[in-house]
Structure 1
Amino acid sequence: MFLNAPRGFRDPDLIAYRMAMLATAERTLPPEAWTRDVEDRRRARKPDIVLPHFDPAEAGVKARALLLLDAPGRKTVLEWGGSGFISLDNEDPTAKNAWETRNQVGLHDHVLA
């Protein structure tokens, strides 16, 4: 799902829509399932570490490109006012820069970040 501009998650309705998509997101289900498994095992040892969801609107397992960034920022954590997702649609400068780069090289529907 390609938005027309970066920082789409400044709209809380879009975040709610993407959260609802998680239940039926077959394209991202394997990475999301892995993340939830890690989250469940990690919770007892390091409760202060948060693992955000994969954005179900991204390319998922059909991605042609995978963007690996160093560490999730505050805007990925729902409890801190973020979206709860690793997403190029987050409301932060890193997501904006990555969104614009993805747009410039034409990877709209083929990137998992």
Structure 2
Amino acid sequence: MPIAENFPEGLKPLGKISLDDGNFHIMWGPGKTTNADGSQVETLADADVVAAYAARGEEQVPLGVSGTMVAVDWDSCVADGACIEACPVQVFQWYRTEKDIPAKDVVG
């Protein structure tokens, strides 16, 4: 699902996600449990995502949106890699392979 260009509207900065190379990007929130049409967000409705959280013993909570010029709505991301393959400038990467921490603890 594409993210709206005006995604920060109605959200506030929650903190920043620091990368190993010294760069960072902003985490916006609060996260959500339902979409604008009232349906459950993709991460809560996807059996594979729910199972992955359960397998790691992690609580599934609304995460919000991370990014500045390019962003990911983590409450809609089902980790299928589509954004990685589609991005023409290769700005996306598998985050957990770099830092193995729970998603809710990534800000800081």
TM-score by length of 2: 0.34
Question: If each structure's strand is expressed as a fraction of its own residues, which one has the higher value?
Answer: 2
Question: If each structure's helix is expressed as a fraction of its own residues, which one has the higher value?
Answer: 1
TM-score by length of 1: 0.33
Whose relative contact order is higher, 1 or 2, with alpha carbons under 8 Å and at least 6 apart? 1
